[in-house]
Amino acid sequence: MSSPDNILPPKFADLLAIDPSLEPFRDVISRRYSAYHRYASTIELNEGGLLKFAQGYTKLGLNRIQIAQPRSTSATSATSATSASSEVKHHQDGTNAIVYREWLPGAKAAWLTGDFNGWNRRSHPLVLGEFGVWQLVLPDKADGSSAIPHGSALQLHLELANGSFADRIPAWSPYVVQPEHTPVYEARYYQPAQPYVFRNARPAVPHALRIYEAHVGIASTEPRVASYAHFTDFVLPRIAGQGYNCIQLMAVMEHVYYGCFGYQVTNFFAASSRFGPPEDLMRLIDTAHGLGLIVLLDVVHSHASKNVLDGLSYFDGTDHGYFHAGGKGQHPLWDSRLFNYGSWEVLRFLLSNLRWWIEKYRFDGFRFDGVTSMLYKHHGIGTGFSGGYHEYFGTEVDEEALVYIMLANDLVHRLGEEILPHEQPTPPRADSKAASALPRLITIAEDVSGYPAICRPVAEGGLGFDARLGMAIPDKWIKLLKEQSDDSWNMGDICFTLTNRRWRENTITYAESHDQALVGDKTIAFWLMDKEMYTSMSVLSAPSAIIDRGIALHKLIRALTFGLGGEGTLNFIGNEFGHPEWLDFPREGNKNSYHYARRQWNLVDDQLLKYRFLNEFDRAFNQLESASRFLTADNTFVSCKHESDKVIAFERGSLLFVFNFHPTQSLVDYRIGSPRPGRYLVALNSDDSTFGGFQRIDSSKAEYFTAPVPWHERPHSLTIYLPARTCLVLRCADEN
């Protein structure tokens, strides 16, 4: 029986029904859920609920409001702070004003300075109120204009506890830029006279996610930083035309160092200005919605940049504030700061950050970066995970971070249920046949540890994510490509890696992501074909065994991964057509070159180059999933893993997938098990000439009939011709 301090999750029985192995850890799960419940209850009691708590940006930072005539000029609390500006008493009720609040518990004094006051560092002091929050009220000018014009440069000037002085960017700044004269970013007051008006409703949530992972800055063929506008006009149509239904945008949260790939965030509420103004990002998302694409933000709450002048580190002069003090607040591998998730104001900051991106920019959810680092005190450094449950329910788990994750997922899903329905109506998706099992707003975890129940609801005792990334899968493919020739690949081992996931916990499968594209590694296409990609990719070139092998295996690897590896898929920008080379951002080591920080769309658009074959196969596979919805099918059965023949066969939904990985041996009258009788047709054939194959099967005429011959534990079977290095996907023509 649970005590008030040890509450069992209300739907814990549902979790045990899925994974009975969790029963011995009932007390640990109960303790962690109880900690979440205490935080949620306290937020409800003192802050008016989680949704209101996550609107911190309406109180902190710079907000334009109507102020009431003050009763007294002696109050100094954070809620009144009228003595912050002597001008307030000269205005009547209803006066418009800018109110600036900042959490600075360690500061001795604070001033706001900038273009608006000629950079006078002492003319506009903030007043300390409750809980370490400082405030300044700036009423409109006599002519009714704002005290701070839109676009004005701003800076927070502090006197620190030790008597020294420092400058900071306001922590809740929605827009920061890099001036030409300095590498240090500065805040700009953002209050446009004509805010962007969204025109398109959010599209309906798809039945399964086919994610296009993208980075705006590298999305141009030109060696430069590409813009939101370029991505909107030139890349979004490609993504929609390719059959993806979701975009995952990287490196949006402002980061001073371009080469960090967006993972050293300095300004959490600011969309990176190097790609354009906030309105351009809004138009990007609005346009994506109009194309039927949902958009996820790659959110980084696992750590923060160590930058002091334009980040949060030592923000109020102390080494803690938003972060843990001492070594606990330092990530030794990433050289970054670690949040103190047990701090009330840090929770407000991070949870409000999530709501900000959903409300202001209309993102449809998040891919949470670095969840493994958040979950464990060792941050995954120097630690391997065997899968033993003691690794997840012992003392190495950071339970404050765990509670934050549960609150974050709770918040996002409640926003989807309670806030989004008030937006304009959502049209049905073109590929929608039934209600989606996914929520209105989606969260995905980047976790390599395999934490149990990470993708189960908080009410069950899970962490609340909707899906996790299948991070072991790309590691397996790269390991095979590095260490073994394909004729020695173990079919059973590959299938185990692809199917080794927790039941009823959605996995996003991928053969490669941005991690495999970075300099120091290679994309799958480059591992397969780098020796001849510069000379033999023309359709006019002499036949190349390396290119033929590479194109065939690229298709097979991706098709097997997407077909068997999860309940959703992911592709990194350009990999759909076998983008050559690696990804390397401009830095001192490469003489600040943009040569490898771009996407060569010209290669796939050139009809004389073979990249288009891989692109066509990727599009056809997406279209097949959209039509058949095999990613959400309940039935998945691997019927054949034949090592010497190098054959893998499995059924998923109404489809039969058959792969021949053998480099030279084509198989005639090869028998494959089937769960149902009837006539089968080719739904997809990787050997079609459209996909750069040898057209050894005429897909338009091929028919296969089952016989009542049990095979591989299936009641029926059929025989097929299966060319070497080919994938066939068959559908039953007799099925409704």
Catalytic machinery residues: 369, 446
What is the pairing mode between strands 647-652 and 655-660? antiparallel
Rounded Cα distance between 351 and 579, Å, is 37
Distances (CA, A) of 219 to 239, 519, 569, 585: 12, 17, 21, 13
Rounded Cα distance between 477 and 495, Å, is 12
Distance of CA 522 to the CA centre of its chain: 22
Rounded Cα distance between 241 and 654, Å, is 25
- Residue 508, sorted as left (phi over 0), alpha (psi -120 to 50) or beta, turns out to be beta
User: CB of 133 within 8 A of CB of 139?
Assistant: no
Nearest to 216 by CA among 203, 230, 205: 230
- DSSP conformational letter for 391: G
500 Cβ partners below 8 Å, 6+ apart? 472
Nearest to 256 by CA among 186, 324, 188: 186
User: CB of 507 within 8 A of CB of 470?
Assistant: yes
As given in the structure block, the two tokens for residue 526 are 């480059």
597 Cβ partners below 8 Å, 6+ apart? 217, 218, 223, 583, 584, 585, 586
User: CB of 337 within 8 A of CB of 323?
Assistant: yes
User: CB of 185 within 8 A of CB of 256?
Assistant: yes
User: CB of 720 within 8 A of CB of 682?
Assistant: no
Rounded Cα distance between 716 and 674, Å, is 5
Rounded Cα distance between 109 and 101, Å, is 13
Rounded Cα distance between 397 and 447, Å, is 13
Distance of CA 95 to the CA centre of its chain: 42
Secondary structure element (H or E) that encloses residue 436, with its range = none
As given in the structure block, the two tokens for residue 356 are 């900000």
1 Cβ partners below 8 Å, 6+ apart? none
As given in the structure block, the two tokens for residue 28 are 């640990």
What is the pairing mode between strands 568-572 and 679-685? unpaired
Helix residue ranges per DSSP H, 467-605: 472-483, 491-499, 514-517, 524-529, 545-564, 601-605
**Amino acid identity for residue 650 in this structure:** F
Question: Within 13 Å and on the Cβ side, how many CA atoms surround 513?
Answer: 22
CA dihedral angle for residue 656, residue 662, residue 668, residue 673, rounded to 10 degrees: -30
